[in-house]
Amino acid sequence: MMTSVDTDLIRVLGDPLRLQVVTLLAREALCTSHLVEETGAKQTNLSNHLRVLREAGVVETEPCGRFTYYRLRPDVFEQLAGRFAALAQTARLTAEANFKRSCP
């Protein structure tokens, strides 16, 4: 079954600061100092969250001298959007047809 929309990925995106970072990175590649400036979060904290995003495959890094550019991986979000769209579609169908399992 196509059930499991990888929980870990959603979990990673369920944090306010991380989602803010993701939203910022969607528009342009940024390095850590930019993100510190934009979010107001401390460097250490941000670096920890970026590590989480990196390990989840949400972002990729490109070293540039002393700086490190972070950019979003669009395919991750395309897949995620697709999963949710599919879920929405089956839910819509279920709602319209009023599918329900009878009480035992």
Partner DNA sequence: GGCTGATATCAGCTCTGGATGATGTGAGAG
Partner DNA sequence: CTCTCACATCATCCAGAGCTGATATCAGCC
Task: Give 32's strand partners.
Answer: none
Interface residues with a second copy (CB under 8 A)? Answer: 3-5, 7, 10-16, 19-20, 22-23, 25-31, 33-34, 64-65, 67, 69, 71-78, 80-82, 84-85, 87-92, 94-95, 98-101, 103-104
Q: Which does 44 bind (CB under 5 to 8 A by kind): a second copy, DNA, none?
A: DNA
**Residue 52 and residue 13 in contact, taking contact as beta carbons nearer than 8 Å:** no
- Our finding on whether 84 is near DNA (CB under 7 A) is no
Cβ nearer to DNA, comparing 25 with 50: 50
- The least distance separating DNA from the CB of residue 16, rounded to whole angstroms, comes to 7
**Residue 62 and residue 12 in contact, taking contact as beta carbons nearer than 8 Å:** no
Among 14, 64, 58, 13, which residue's Cα sits nearest to residue 34?
64
Number of Cβ within a 10 Å radius of residue 46: 20
Considering only 21-29, 31-39, 71-79, 85-93, which stretch makes contact with DNA by CB under 7 A?
31-39
Task: Give 59's strand partners.
Answer: 72
Look at residue 61 and give its three-state secondary structure.
Answer: strand
Residues found near DNA in the complex (CB under 7 A): 11, 15, 17-18, 31-33, 36, 41-45, 47-52, 61, 63, 65-68, 104
